[in-house]
Structure 1
Amino acid sequence: MPESLPGFDVWLANDGGSYISPSFQVKNIAGLPDGHVQFTSDASNYSTAIIGNASLAWIKEVAGKGQPFFAYIAPKAAHEPFNPAPWYRDHWDPSWPSQEPRPQNWNCSAESRQNHHGNIASQPMITEEAAEIVTGVFKNRWRTLMSVDDLIADVFSALETQGVLDNTYIFFSSDHGFQLGQFNILMDKRHTYEWDTKIHLVARGPGIEAGSSFAAPSTQVDIAPTILGLAGLEAPETMDGKSVVPFLLSSRSEVLASLLPSTRQHLQGLGDLTDYAAKWRQEVFIEYYYNDYNSKCVTHKECGSQRNDYPNSDSNCVDLASNSKCWCNHNTAQEPDCYPTETSANNFAALRTFTVEGANHLLYAEFQPGDQAESNIDFKKADFTELFDVQNDPWEMNNLANDPAFVPVRTKLHKKLHAWLACSGSSCA
């Protein structure tokens, strides 16, 4: 991290780091020296706890001074290797499911996957050993979130104690979806499908009515202009995304009258809000470029090296009491006991539509093989197309790209997709 970052006064940051014995780059955190800090494997140094404690101390300090503030709190959970805090290692509530959801595309046949791109069509069947690891990953991911729940509860408590809860906006979201066995990929999140791309957004604050929701399609690129708008600041022309503030807030006049001055200023700057909503995008653009094979192996000879010493270090195992039932990452082509997350065929530009003349709720994707690090991939040489009717085929088993009935829609979506590829900043819809 640099010595200074415009707009940021304090940070505790890393590149994702570890759950156990984590390290951070530190700036202006009370009780810690600036620079690189390596924590020991003491149970109290679980990464979510460190991030939470530092965040709470800072919030209490700035709120106690009456300062406006912005805190971005991002725990590692629930990322690989899915290691919960030692005190939650074996926790499982009796009301929770005994295994991950297993819809029709979980461990589905090779025949059912043939009209899908890249490694989806060639993925092996999930073995009994692999299925056991998938279920263990599912459970340990939930267990990592127990500490996130604790952090969220403590943030709310701190805001309430400082008397600022009712004039603070809180957003809770994630950076991607996840898959556990869908299309026979054991775990990860690199594909265009719903379970990888859809994420939640839960918000609370002045003018947001409890239990309300909005249907306008939005993505993470809209978060930054939304936060700037709530603070009464104008988003730069070069910033992707648009403010969702008009969709978040109640339209009742008595609610609008009680908003913070900065928020009212932002709404006024957007002009006629009915017109603003009418011009909102009707589809979400998704773009991804191949990273690596990242095969997940379950009995491979290299997996033994991942049986690390939890709770003293991170472990790629689902039985953390004995550091057993492990997986490993193997960055080569498919092997008999490995399940590749992706191949170099997995470069895609896609549209998730909500309203299209002739059909609603479609996923349209074009794929071009290659490695962006070696040559430019512009999707002008796409060699595979997928089109799914998400409303009637939620698990995306039936690729309609070559269905004659969908040719007009496909032609329209192709044109829209390449318009999105060419846009940038405020020129995007």
Structure 2
Amino acid sequence: MHLFSGAWFVRLWLMVVVMWFGCGFALGGKPNMVFILTDDQDSVLGGMTPMKKTKALLADLGVTFSNAFVSSPLCCPSRSSILTGMYQHNHHVVNNSRSGNCSSTAWQHEREPHAFPVYLQKAGYSTFFAGKYLNQYGDKKTGGVSHVPLGWNRWYGLVKNSKYYNYTLSVNGIEEKHGDDYGKDYLTDLIANYSLAFLESHKELVRPTPFFMMLSTPASHSPWNAAPQYEHHYDNVSAPRNGSFNHHGNGKHWLIRQAKTPMASTSVKLSDEAFRRRWQTLLSVDDLVERVVKQLTNIGVLNSTYIFFMSDNGYHTGQFSLPIDKRQLYEFDIRVPLIVRGPGLKPRQKLEIPVVNIDLAPTFLDLAGVNTSQTKMDGRSLVPLWKSKKAHWRTDFLVEYQGEGSVVKADPSCPRLGPGVAECFPNCVCEDAINNTYACVRTLEQDLNMQYCEFADNESFVEVYNLGADPHQLNNIVKSVDPKLLEKMNQRLIALQSCKSRSCNTTPQ
């Protein structure tokens, strides 16, 4: 009897299947992926300090990218870059409003069909989303909760911006309202519960497919509602007083100069309170990470699953005398945590190569076996970086932001700062304006650690920082730096602002 006929073949096939699933891989040998995305979590001001479980379960068992950045320091543009792998000038989401293309009809028609979950779904992945998507998601003018973005098999999308209580979810296109009962409604915990249920259902499948889960938490975004058990943690902690805290520095754009230095006591109090409460909300994210890792272990797929942890942008609490917000070009707003654990990754690796949020989508596709050259993504897969220290990589990248001025939130008692001013906080400190529109080249080479920024205003204002000598970006050196270097950086900025796809990753000459 031939070895591969009849009963012999069936037995051999069953042995192969058992061995394959025993390693945790789905049919086809593709890895599973979990992507945990936090909101407004910095890396410069200690944003990872509360995440002790995350450090032990992810960072200590995988790779930490110590130079991870976002290409735009605001929620909706950054999340759009994560979903599409594109810079802002290519996905055209410029702020958090529908008029700024945030979850607009144009976004739904032009960008969602090319977002990474669509490619993963076509590659055989079962896709799951829970939490905050884009700030204007669920607006009745763009389809409401019935609109489920393309590419997602299971959908638990938060309507509008981050909340912890009293919110609405779209559950696979059906409205689900939540109140203020911690046991039933606290969103960070609910995201964890939904994800564990999805993993449990995956365990019951006869022929498991690979899965991709995106867990998008509200923490550490305002209104900073901590879980009851964490409400008094860090009561004695204050925002860091080092670096640029409560200090203007030299040669800053008008938006920084208009902030009062030293800050009023009420602004200092606001900064400290925000700092503490943000940490408190992150403790529930730390619990979420632990619960997901345990469930992956319980269903036998941890060893075949990549887990990514990242934030959509950084945050500041008193730096340059700006009480609380993001949106600025400085390290505290654009530098974010990025950790990856998974098959083949060595424990406690630290990679200093500059990576950007536009790199996540092509990384997911690369792991799924999708040919990223067929997409229009501007980013690059991170996979070669953890496979070889000699991998060719970029030495610079683009940071771009379009200031907002359509909604004035200044205190009525504040003197008028001028047209287009928005997002103002107590003590008349403005955090954004139309002419806060800027574009920067951030360079990280062995002998050049620099940021060059141009503002789109009538002053043609430029800021340049040597972060090797001035890590807190206190001194704008535009008037003392070599004019030839300025010209070179200007030309590089022009090239990056018009780049598309592969041209976004050329090495500057």
Out of 228, 252, 276, the residue aligned to residue 86 of structure 1 is 228
Return 5+ residue gaps in structure 2 as ranges.
1-144, 414-419
1:334-366 C-alpha deviation (Å, 9 max, x unpaired): 68822111222211110110128xx51001100
- 1:377 corresponding residue in structure 2: none
Greater length-normalized contact order (CA 8 Å, ≥ 6 residues apart): 2
Residues 106 and 428 from structure 1, CA distance in 2 versus in 1: closer, same or farther, beyond 3 angstroms? Answer: same
- Please name the residue that 1:266 is paired with: none
Q: Which residue of 2 aligns with 1:399?
A: 476
Q: Distance in 2 between matches of 1:338 and 1:84?
A: 28
What SS does structure 2 have at the residue aligned with 1:106? coil
Q: What residue identity is the alignment partner of 2:252? A: H
For 2:317, the equivalent position in structure 1 comes to 180
The answer to whether residue 366 in structure 2 is matched with residue 366 in structure 1 is no
1:133 is paired with a residue whose SS is helix
Name the counterpart of 2:167: 22
> What is the Cα deviation at residue 406 of structure 1?
2.4
Match of 1:101 in 2: 240
* Mapping of residues 107-146 of structure 1, within 5 Å: 107-108=246-247, 112-113=249-250, 115-125=251-261, 126-146=263-283
Q: 2:217 aligns with which of 58, 75, 80?
A: 75
| Post-superposition offset of 1:291 | 2.1
2:352 equivalent to 1:352: no
Q: Deviations over 1:58-106 (max 9, x none)?
A: 122124423210000001100012121223211238xxx7211112421
CA deviation profile, 1:26-67 (whole Å, cap 9, x unmatched): 11xxxxxx4111112112211111111111111221244232
For residue 118 of structure 1, report the CA deviation from its aligned partner.
2.7
CA deviation vs aligned residue, 1:204-228 (integer Å, no higher than 9, x gap): 0001100112222111100010011
Partner of 2:124 in structure 1? Answer: none
Distance 1:396 1:409, change over 3 A: same
Shift, 1:169, TM fit: 0.3
What is the CA RMSD across the aligned residues, in angstroms?
2.5
Whole-Å separation in 2 of the counterparts to 1:237 and 1:421: 19
Contact 2:452–2:489 at 8 Å: present in 1 too? yes
Shift, 1:382, TM fit:
7.1
- What 5-or-longer segments of structure 1 have no aligned partner? 28-33, 252-272, 303-329, 370-380
C-alpha deviation, 1:2, in angstroms: 5.0
Deviations for 1:159-182, whole angstroms, at most 9, x for unmatched residues?
A: 000000001000001001111101
Change (3 A) 1:80 1:335: closer
Residue 156 of structure 2: aligned partner = 12
C-alpha distance in structure 1 between counterparts of 2:483 and 2:192, whole Å: 52
Structure 2 counterparts to residues 314-353 of structure 1, below 5 A? 332=422, 337-353=427-443
**Count of aligned positions:** 349
Cα distance in 2 between the residues matched to 1:57 and 1:338: 47
Q: Secondary structure at the match of 2:237?
A: coil
Asked whether the equivalents of residues 444 and 450 of structure 2 are also in contact (C-alpha less than 8 Å), the reply is: yes
Q: CA–CA distance in 2 between the matches of 1:422 and 1:361? A: 23
Distance 1:129 1:49, change over 3 A: same
User: Could you list the per-position Cα deviations for residues 127-180 of structure 1 after superposition, in whole angstroms to 9, with x for gaps in the alignment?
Assistant: 112211211111100000011011110000000000000010000010011111
After TM superposition, the score normalised by the length of structure 2 is 0.64
> 1:16 deviation in Å?
2.5
User: In percent, how many aligned pairs have the same letter?
Assistant: 31
Q: Which residue of 2 aligns with 1:375?
A: none
| Structure 2 equivalent of residue 40 of structure 1 | 179
SS at match of 1:196: helix
Contact 2:323 2:425 in 1 (8 A): no
CA positional deviation for 1:294 = 7.7
